[in-house]
Chains A and B, each alone.
Chain A
């Protein structure tokens, strides 16, 4: 008769002790702040920093240096013109938009209020970049597969 009683007590105590241990572990793990995954792009691999290979370029002739400087100046001017054109385009867009909204407000207040509101259907917005070589129409690709080999970091 005494044995089943012992089993109950011991079990309950053991269970309680286990629970407390688990709670302590949980507290400890939760205390540690979550860490960000390190980004491999920003870590230079060691093999590029330990090598002794140094590139020695041939000296430039003065004509070549002159040509390069003039080319750089032309490129700077081209880029400046491009940037100014972009700024002008943005200004024009904003101005025409404001004018259109003004006219709309004069026409009807309701439509103006509806136009000012934010568009819920705009986001999420996805677009693929243009490609040099669009896919060929009659191309038969060989069979294959893609394996994801990203390193999984755990804390």
Chain B
């Protein structure tokens, strides 16, 4: 039989959907799942355009290299050059030892950290490339070493952790 004392709104009644409020709340962002690190396709470029290029900036000074990388990134945005990726390579630490004047013991002089930032661009036209190089060179700060080269798979692999067990097993299998 029909339920008495029930406050359900029927779909035909004007009170249908009277208690709805979730549509008024801000949308919840779904939880981010860990994205697998996969290599993106490397484009080779056409005859009039270069493919994926890496602008690598290396220096002992972190602030300089970071700011220079930001400047280059903004410059590329302003000149409407597509920037694929802008990342940092792992830091390298070097201990510099020198031989004392009197004695045979090596003394620790300094601990130097080398920082490297990479900006990856795509579709640089052949006529604009020398202009871009000229601008970057004229704004190069002191002590920052600039290197521009084409992006390869080896460059991407150098960012990943080494897997000695996997390599051992592969060597044993073959």
Contact = CB atoms under 8 A, between A and B. Distances in A.
Contacts of A44: none
What is the interface residue range for chain A against chain B? 35 or more
A95 to B, nearest CB: 11
Interface string A35-48: 11111111000000
B109 A128 contact: no
B88 A39 contact: yes
A105 to B, nearest CB: 13
A146 B110 CA distance: 10
A147 B94 contact: yes
Contact of B37 (A34, A97, A126, A143): A34
Contacts of A57: none
A144 interface: yes
Residue with the highest number of chain B CB atoms closer than 10 Å, among A97, A118, A147, A154: A118
B49 A155 contact: no
A93 B146 contact: no
Interface string A110-123: 00000011110011
A70 to B, nearest CB: 25
A125 interface: yes
Contacts of B169: 22, 25-26, 29
A131 B142 contact: yes
A118 B129 CA distance: 9
Contacts of B90: 37-40, 150
A86 interface: yes
B126 A94 contact: no
A64 interface: no
A150 B91 contact: yes
Interface in A97-155: 97, 101, 116-119, 122-132, 142-155
A2 interface: no
A147 B149 contact: no
Given A29-B169, A37-B159, A130 B142 contact: yes
28 contacts: A26-B173, A30-B166, A33-B36, A34-B37, A35-B37, A35-B161, A38-B90, A39-B89, A90-B135, A94-B128, A118-B50, A119-B129, A123-B148, A123-B149, A123-B150, A125-B149, A129-B145, A131-B142, A142-B101, A143-B98, A148-B92, A149-B94, A150-B90, A150-B93, A153-B162, A154-B161, A155-B162, A155-B163
Interface of A: 22-23, 25-26, 29-30, 33-42, 86, 90, 93-94, 97, 101, 116-119, 122-132, 142-155
Given A119-B126, A127-B140, A131-B143, 15 more contacts: A22-B169, A35-B160, A39-B88, A39-B90, A41-B62, A116-B48, A118-B49, A123-B148, A142-B98, A144-B97, A144-B98, A147-B94, A149-B95, A151-B93, A155-B163
